[in-house]
Amino acid sequence: MEPSHDRLLDGEALPLPEPWIRILDSGVRNTLEAQLKVEVGEGHPLFGKSVTALARCGRCDEALFGVEGAPTHFAQVHLTWRSAPDTPPWPWTEFLSPPLFDSLADHAH
């Protein structure tokens, strides 16, 4: 796990804007990471990447993932909950740069 990702999993980390919720439960984290692997097909920018689920939106199906080795290190993804790979650009993905609070605060519903 990238050092910056580990910092976000720390209960003492900086707060996230509403309605984002930090994922501290390993079961939830594993579920989101597994679902992303199911949905991402060849041609998607996250295909074959190692990710860590860090936060989820409390109002929709979007999640924040840390991406190992990515230049920006973070991706906001709208999961579709399909049981097979989606056709890119789905699942919709936006790469975010720090500060994450500001990037996630722009999330509109």
pLDDT digits (tens, 9 = 90+) for 35-88: 999 999 999 999 999 999 999 999 999 999 999 886 668 999 999 999 999 999
Integer Cα distance of 15 and 101 in angstroms? 8
Integer Cα distance of 65 and 44 in angstroms? 15
| Residue 5, pLDDT above cutoff 60 | no
pTM (2 d.p.): 0.85
User: Is 61 in contact with 95 (CB distance < 8 Å)?
Assistant: no
| Residue 91, pLDDT above cutoff 90 | yes
Average pLDDT, the chain: 86
Instruction: Report pLDDT for 14.
Output: 60
Q: How many CB atoms lie within 10 A of CB 43?
A: 10
Q: Before 17, cis peptide (omega within 30)?
A: no
User: Is 53 in contact with 29 (CB distance < 8 Å)?
Assistant: yes
Integer Cα distance of 47 and 9 in angstroms? 23
Q: How confident is the model at residue 4 (pLDDT cuts 50, 70, 90)?
A: low
Report the helix count and the strand count for the chain, using DSSP H and E.
3, 5
Instruction: Report pLDDT for 38.
Output: 97
